């Protein structure tokens, strides 16, 4: 059944055939605006008739959608990326289990509702409640397709959510043979050097993605302790309740367990679509109609794998309700909107800078040897080179190399 979100018409208030929802803007990026949905009842709407915030109604026969656990994502006009998560999710069949991907439901919004959302943006702009950088960009009123996205935020005080990007779960095929940093660690080092005060704007201590996917308990504990710094936990850091949460998360991501299997499936998908080194990628012709099908397929694969190297992973932890029930951890991927093919030249450029600047080899200007990356540590401390290289051979990578710095 097609689902239509219709601008609320007061004359329809109270009719059994409709349900009503209010929209609250919670996030705005370059390409989308995201709203939280709250169910409204006719009495509430009548008593706050001066409230001009956007509202919509849907047929009450649409019982299969839990609207209050969904967010509404609306595309902006002039957003360069016209492909959606739905396109890429189709390609992930058999690679990443669907229960580990946030649910997305495309629905239709009436033109009156889209117009009301734009009026709300203008009001915010006039009242200086909109970030300066977003002022002037508006919702695309000619495109009625909007998306309901599963809301992974904490459901109550009994749960909390943290979000992180697993990033590159396998070394870049462009990395030099003397690399002792993976792609993510090399980029972090470059950003650190380029930052004005030598500090990154993050409270979370850096961790190596290869270390996390490895699944060894002490490595996972380091990564999860960092993530919990950004979580809203009702417990003091170091308390027994806090340690119990940390223990659950460490167990979830340890080798062979559910979270670790998910990371391995993301890594497999990154490898599956990787077209090999960026330095070997063909150029996209200015006139795209003259670009060969083989070239387009390679470039499309590069875009897909780069999308998978930048997905967000939402972790929702629900505390145990009783001694009988244990805690529950849900892990779901989001940000699967395919990146623009126009970004390929900047990705090539980044790889060049990482190599020529010596970041992969920890030989950048004023380099201080660091041991954050798994590749910088002696083999006996946990790097299973054999396991990794057998997976890499499947995708044609042959030059992943470890060196053991004498200072270790
Ligand atoms: Zn690393």
* Spatial separation of the C-alpha atoms in residues 213 and 395, rounded to whole Å: 18
C-beta of residue 321 within 8 angstroms of C-beta of residue 279:
no
Residue with tokens 């979580």: 231
Pick the closest to residue 376 from 406, 340, 346, 354 (CA basis). Answer: 406
Structure tokens at 287: 């006139």
Confidence at residue 288, expressed as pLDDT on a 0 to 100 scale: 67
Calculate how far, in angstroms, residue 336's C-alpha sits from the geometric centre of ligand 1.
23
Burial of 187 (0-12, 13-18, 19+ CB in 10 A): buried
Q: At 342, list the tokens.
A: 């126009």
Q: Label each residue of 249-294 as H, E or C.
A: HHHHHCCCCHHHHHHHHHHHHHHHHCCCCHHHCCCCCCCHHHCCHH
168: CA distance to ligand 1 center in Å?
9
How far is the centre of ligand 1, averaged over its atoms, from the C-alpha of 211 (Å)? Answer: 7
Expressed in angstroms and rounded, the spacing between residue 350 Cα and the centre of ligand 1 is: 16
pLDDT at position 1 is 59
CA-to-CA distance for 204 and 182, rounded, in angstroms?
Answer: 19
Closest by CA to 23, choosing from 95, 156, 163, 124, is 124
Beta partners for residue 72, in sequence order: 35, 148
Higher pLDDT: 275 or 10? It is: 275
CA-wise closest residue to 166 among 73, 261, 244, 257: 261
**Cα of 246 to ligand 1 centre, how many Å?**
22
CA–centroid distance, residue 265 to ligand 1 (Å)? 18
**Residue that wins the pLDDT comparison between 82 and 339:** 339
pLDDT at 358 over 80: yes
pLDDT in tens, 285-310: 766 667 788 888 889 999 999 999 99
Is this prediction's pTM over 0.95?
A: no
pLDDT of amino acid 156: 78
Q: How far is it, in rounded angstroms, from Cα 386 to Cα 400?
A: 11
Quote the percentage of the chain above a pLDDT of 70.
86
How far is ligand 1, taken at its centre, from the CA of residue 207, in Å? 7
Distance 282 CA to ligand 1 centre (A): 28
Q: β-strands 328-334, 312-318: how paired?
A: antiparallel
Percent of the chain, pLDDT > 90?
A: 53
Q: What are residue 6's phi and psi, to 5 degrees? A: -115, 135
- Name the band, by pLDDT with cuts 50, 70 and 90, for residue 230: confident
Task: Output the pLDDT for position 203.
Answer: 59
The predicted pLDDT at position 408 comes to 26
Residue that wins the pLDDT comparison between 192 and 330: 330
What's the 197 CA to ligand 1 centre distance in angstroms?
A: 23
Is the pLDDT at 10 greater than 80? The verdict is no
Report the candidate in 389, 387, 385, 380 with the shortest Cα–Cα distance to residue 408. 380
pLDDT band at 155 (very low <50, low <70, confident <90, very high): confident
Separation CA 210–CA 76 (nearest Å): 36
% helix, strand, coil for the chain, step of 5: 40, 15, 45
Q: In 3D, which of 63, 48, 53, 61 has the Cα closest to residue 21?
A: 53
Whether the Cβ atoms of residue 359 and residue 189 lie closer than 8 Å to each other: yes
State residue 101's pLDDT score. 94
Ligand 1: distance of its center to the CA of 371 in Å? 9
Confidence tier at 51 by pLDDT (50, 70, 90): confident
Mean pLDDT of 128-139: 93
Q: Where in the chain is the domain with CATH 3.30.200?
A: 4-150
Q: Give the model's pLDDT for residue 234.
A: 84
Mean pLDDT in residue range 191-197: 79
CATH fold of 4-150 reads Phosphorylase Kinase; domain 1 (3.30.200)
- Residue 196 CB neighbours (<10 A): 5
Tokens 């993510």, residue? Answer: 184
**In angstroms, what is the span from residue 231 Cα to ligand 1's centroid?**
23
Q: What's the gap in Å between 169 CA and the centre of ligand 1?
A: 9
Mean pLDDT, the chain, rounded, equals: 84
């Amino acid at each position: 059944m097609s689902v239509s979100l219709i601008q609320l018409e007061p004359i329809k208030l109270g009719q059994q055939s409709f349900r009503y929802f209010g929209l609250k803007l919670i996030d705005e990026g370059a390409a989308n605006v995201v709203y939280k949905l709250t169910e409204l009842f006719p009495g509430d709407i009548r008593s706050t008739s001066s409230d001009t915030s956007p509202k919509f109604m849907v047929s009450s026969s649409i019982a299969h959608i839990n609207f209050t656990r969904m967010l509404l994502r609306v595309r902006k006009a002039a957003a360069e990326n016209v492909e959606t998560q739905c396109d890429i999710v189709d390609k992930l069949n058999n690679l990443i289990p669907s229960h580990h991907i946030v649910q997305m439901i495309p629905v239709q919004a009436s033109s009156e509702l889209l117009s009301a959302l734009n009026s709300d943006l203008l009001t915010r702009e006039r009242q200086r409640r909109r970030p300066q950088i977003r002022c002037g960009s508006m919702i695309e009123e000619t495109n009625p397709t909007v998306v309901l996205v599963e809301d992974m935020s904490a459901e109550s005080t009994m749960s909390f959510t943290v979000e992180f990007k697993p990033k590159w779960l396998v070394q870049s095929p462009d990395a030099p043979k003397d690399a002792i940093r993976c792609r993510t660690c090399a980029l972090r080092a470059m950003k650190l050097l380029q930052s004005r005060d030598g500090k990154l704007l993050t409270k979370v201590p850096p961790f190596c993605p290869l270390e996390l996917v490895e699944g060894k308990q002490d490595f996972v504990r380091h990564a999860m302790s960092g993530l919990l710094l950004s979580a809203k936990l009702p417990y003091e850091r170091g308390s027994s309740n806090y340690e119990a949460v940390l223990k659950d998360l460490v167990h979830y991501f340890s080798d062979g367990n559910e979270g670790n299997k998910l990371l391995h499936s993301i890594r497999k998908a990154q490898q599956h679509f990787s077209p090999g080194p960026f330095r070997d990628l063909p150029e996209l012709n200015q006139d795209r109609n003259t670009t060969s099908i083989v070239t387009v397929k390679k470039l499309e694969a590069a875009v897909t794998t780069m999308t998978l190297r930048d997905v967000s992973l939402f972790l929702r932890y629900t505390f145990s309700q009783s001694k009988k029930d244990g805690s529950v951890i849900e892990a779901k991927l989001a940000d699967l909107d395919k990146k623009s093919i126009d970004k390929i030249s900047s990705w090539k450029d980044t790889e060049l800078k990482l190599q020529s600047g010596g970041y992969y080899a920890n030989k950048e200007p004023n380099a201080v040897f660091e041991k954050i990356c798994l590749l910088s540590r002696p083999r006996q401390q946990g790097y299973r080179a054999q396991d990794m290289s057998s997976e890499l051979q499947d995708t044609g990578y042959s030059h992943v190399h470890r060196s053991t710095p004498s200072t270790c």
